[in-house]
Structure 1
Amino acid sequence: MIRFKKIVFLVFLSFSTLVFSQKNSTEKRIVKSVDKNIDDAIVLLKKAININSGTMNFKGVKEVGALFKTELDQLGFETKQTSGEAYNRAGHLIAVRKGKKNGPKILMIGHLDTVFEEDSPLQEFIMVNDSIIKGPGVADMKGGDVIIILAMKALKEAGVLDDLSIEIIMTGDEEKSGDPIELSKKDLIDAAKRADIALGFENGDNRTETIVVSRRGSADWKLTVTGNAAHSSQIFTKEIGAGAIYEASRILNEFYEQLSNEKDLTFNPGFVLGGTSLEIDTDETGGTTFGKNNVVAQTAFVHGDLRATSPEQLEKAKETMLKIINNNYPNTTAKIIFGKGAYPPLAMTKGNLELLSQYNNVSKDLGFGAVEAVNPRNAGAADISFTSGYVEMAIDGLGLTGGSGDHTINEIGNLNSVAQKAKITAVLLHRLLNAKK
């Protein structure tokens, strides 16, 4: 049997003529179902938001997972909540349906956790006005999870769901990945290997007229610099040299000079410590240092991140950074370590652009207007990046939009986007299933 992903581009060339019309009774039923069930979906969203599920609140993450599990059980999915003990997290929710038709295998991605831990001042669902809601994880991304469930319900009521092969993974550690990340993301990567198409339900750049076809990967880096401690009067001498702080400054300046003009590449030093001695906090978000103005600095430390749009761009940047740190000032040494627990880039591919084109067609056919690609600079790292290289097509940003303030106590979203995104998602899946091969 010819695997779907081998012929996927021919598929899209052939079904572009399938458009929404009054004659398409299945798509009409899908839209009608979303409208009928939207109020229940908002109630579900409110319940989920009012459960604190900060990544490290394992009980809360599991409770949100159980809430969504019940919904997916009722839709005929085989569901399970996994243990995250091996990587010190709450675990994931996995739901699977094997379709009756030989269509594409779809992977749908959400996450259960938020950045708002139990000590956050933002803890509950608040109606700002008749359409704008505020709350922990409204947009990132409990709204997206509810959109997945609402779309599945519409497909079931329209008589389509039984034909589709769908795997849904809602991770429990998207905001703060477990360690080792190889175990944390194993279920997601294994699902990607089984899939042809991946759909992510993050909120993109919060605009309904955009979809993510490329995400920058994220890796951390740690720079350690050493120099010769001595009285400050001896700095720059042949025996003492420049000291650790000057060398760290040189390196950071060269990073800027040589890499800052690379398109969509960023590298940010999050904190810098330097002096006679220093101690780094265990979570590597800061530390303490001791030094005197009349002593040449013996050590310096910089912790930063590096973001790129493709594996090739990431590796090229790393090579440049390594060359820079080896061109040391006198009597100094430097070492840089790139973190292993990195999010890979979701590279822009022909397949991703083809899928965007089909999403755009559905959006226009349903009267919601055109949709274009998000600028990768406006799309941070996300779980869908772990599907890169395994699926032929992937897009993200299908979640609740129209808001702002992500990851802050001012996070808001527009409820009107829930029905809109659920309709587009469900109709898109119906068209993918019925594409002529």
Structure 2
Amino acid sequence: MEKVVNINSGTRNISGVRKVGEEFAAEFEKLGFKNFWIKMPFEMKRAGHLYSQREGEDGPHILLIGHLDTVFSKDSDFQKFTHQGNHITGPGVVDMKGGDVVMLYALKALHACGILDGKSIKIFLTGDEENVGPPLSLSRRELIDAAKQSDMALSFESGQQDQAVIARRGASLWSLGVSAKRAHSSTIFSEDSGDGAIYETARILKKFHKFAQNMPNLTLNPAVIAGGTSAGFDAGSATWTSAGKDNIIPQVVESRGDLRFISREQLDDARAEMRKIIEENLPHTSAEITFTDLYPAMSITPENKRLLGVLDEVSQELGYGPVGPNQPGDRGAGDISFVAPHVASIDALGPWGGGSHTTQEWLDTEGFRKATKRTALLLYQIFQSHQRHPDGS
């Protein structure tokens, strides 16, 4: 873990992401895996993904998921692995190089016992989980294909001793544009001038706030706003600009943010409600909203619950206590979300710690050991209790 944490692999550090992938590929090869590097087009500015596999017909086909990149760029002040007692700090120790190492050493344990012989295992370590390269149809195509060829998927984002993830919310972006009549401020609210773009935006956002609060597992975040006589966005620098005068009724507002949801049905309902709200315009105003899909939702399924049941049984046999489901609202989106619509899935099998995406990111070494043991025995139990039928089911 020290070796890979000390290699900077911020998402846009293409050479760094590939170098971390090479380190893991060398270890997987020792365990009998064949490695493939899935390249992305140059214009996407992403490193690609490591795909490793062992082919066999003994037991279920399992997909293991992790990622190689972190949120820390080459010029970040947070670059080094440090270890004091049971406390490790460093970029990616829990998100998620630590999880990748848990996966690796659980497989090493099974390999040492000869348990991997004849087993079908796919490993997919993405290179851009922290900032997925568009279009998603290309950057996640092979991951989804691997899921469709598998019976179950296990993901190694950071975890907790008593919880795992069998549902996590999806993510969508929204962009709101509001227009109004420009006039002298002394005439605002008049029949001829109307209420202006900022009042109309305030009305819309207040209603967004009210309806979102009454929908379980749904959040709606207005992340940025700009308005006045002019407003604009520079995608290259992610900078918003606006201009206006105190004595002019504002004629434009631009706002954007994200929407988190627990199912496609909830997403569709939320979008329909948002469209309805923006149509209830104040005088002399109009509004338009557009949506962009990011991550699908990982919804609760009976198959996911059964995987959690196996993990719970293993954890209690190890003396670690019971494992229950994590609250979906407690986690952000992740690569497991692309897989979950196609196959039984569980996430947060990695080590426990905290401070993800901050310069205080840390890992508990005892939790790291427990997560590795628990993963090894979880895989062993799955291999022992699942047999593939002649028809492949």
Give the TM-score, by structure 1 length.
0.86
- Larger % of helix: which? 1
Q: Which residue number in structure 1 is paired with residue 105 of structure 2?
A: 150
Provide the residue aligned with 1:79 in structure 2: 35
Shift of 1:120: 1.1
- AA of the residue aligned to 2:365: L
* RMSD of equivalent CA atoms: 1.2
Q: In 2, distance between residues paired with 1:100 and 1:259?
A: 47
Correspondences of 1:400-411 after superposition (within 5 Å): 400-401=351-352, 403-411=353-361
| Aligned residue type for 2:333 | A
Q: What one-letter code is carried by the residue in structure 1 that aligns with 2:268?
A: E
Q: Which residue of 2 aligns with 1:241?
A: 194
* Cα distance between partner residues in 2 of 1:286 and 1:252: 21
Distance 2:36 2:202 in 1: 51
Determine the structure 2 residue equivalent to 1:201. 156
Among residues 315, 321, 327, which one is paired with 1:375 in the alignment? 327
For residue 282 of structure 1, report the CA deviation from its aligned partner. 1.0
Deviates more, 1:427-436 or 1:319-328: 427-436
Taking the TM superposition and a 5 Å limit, the aligned residue runs for 1:305-384 are 305-340=258-293, 342-384=294-336
Aligned twin of 1:33: none
In the TM superposition, 1:130-279 aligns within 5 A as: 130-204=85-159, 207-279=160-232
Q: Residues 228 and 298 of structure 1 are in contact (CA less than 8 Å); yes or no, is this contact kept in structure 2?
A: yes
**1:25 — aligned with what?**
none
Work out whether 1:125 is the aligned partner of 2:76: no
The residue identity in structure 1 corresponding to 2:375 is: T
Once residues 227 and 264 of structure 1 are traced to their aligned partners in structure 2, the CA distance between those partners, rounded to angstroms, is 34
- Structure 2: stretches of 5+ with no match in the other structure: 388-393
Question: Which residue does 1:398 correspond to in 2?
Answer: 349
| Among 47, 51, 56, the residue aligned to 1:90 | 47
State how far apart, in whole Å, the 1-side matches of 2:376 and 2:386 are.
Answer: 18
1:417, distance to aligned residue in structure 2 (A): 2.1
- TM (norm. structure 2) is 0.96
Partners of 1:409 and 1:219 in 2: CA distance: 27
Kindly state the Cα deviation for residue 418 of structure 1 after the two structures are TM-superposed. 2.3
Unaligned runs of 5+ in 1: 1-44
Q: What CA distance in whole angstroms lies between the structure 1 residues aligned with 2:320 and 2:210? A: 44
Q: More strand per residue: 1 or 2?
A: 2
Tell me the alpha carbon deviations over residues 107-136 of structure 1, each in whole angstroms, 9 at most, x when there is no partner: 100000000011211001012x31111100
Q: Which moved more, 1:257-266 or 1:405-414?
A: 257-266
Query: What is the alpha-carbon distance in structure 2 between the residues aligned to residue 344 and residue 283 of structure 1?
Result: 26
Match of 2:248 in 1: 295
Shift of 1:388: 2.1
Higher deviation after alignment, 77-86 or 57-66: 77-86
CA contact (8 A) 1:88 1:179 kept: no
Moved more, 85-94 or 58-67: 85-94
Q: Which amino acid aligns with 1:407?
A: H
- Inter-partner Cα distance in structure 2 for 1:126 and 1:179: 34
Identity %: 45
Shift of residue 284 of structure 1? 7.5
Q: Secondary structure at the match of 1:54?
A: coil
Indicate if the aligned counterparts of 2:232 and 2:254 stay in contact, CA closer than 8 A: no
Deviations 1:305-332 (A, max 9, x none): 0001111111111111110011111111
SS of alignment partner, residue 90 of structure 1: coil
Q: Distance in 1 between matches of 2:104 and 2:296?
A: 27
2:67–2:100 contact (8 Å) kept in structure 1: yes
Give distance in 2, aligned partners of 1:94 and 1:375.
30
Per mean C-alpha deviation after superposition, the further-off stretch among 352-361 and 424-433 is 424-433
Matched to 2:265, the amino acid is E
8 Å Cα contact 2:14/2:45 also seen in 1: no
Match of 2:341 in 1: 389
Amino acid at match of 1:419: R
For the 8 Å contact 2:17–2:47, the answer to whether it is kept is yes
Match 1:54 to one of 10, 21, 30: 10
The Cα of 1:264 is off from its aligned counterpart by 1.2
1:336 Cα deviation (Å)? 0.7
The answer to whether the Cα contact below 8 Å between 1:310 and 1:346 also exists between their aligned partners in 2 is: yes
**Equivalent-residue separation in structure 1 for 2:288 and 2:29 (angstroms):** 52
The range that moved more, 132-141 or 229-238, is 229-238
> How far 1:286 sits from its partner (Å)?
3.4
Compute the displacement of 1:82 (Å): 1.7
Write the deviation string for residues 189-216 of structure 1: whole angstroms up to 9, x where unpaired. Answer: 1111111101010014xx2211001000
Query: Aligned AA for 1:288?
Result: T
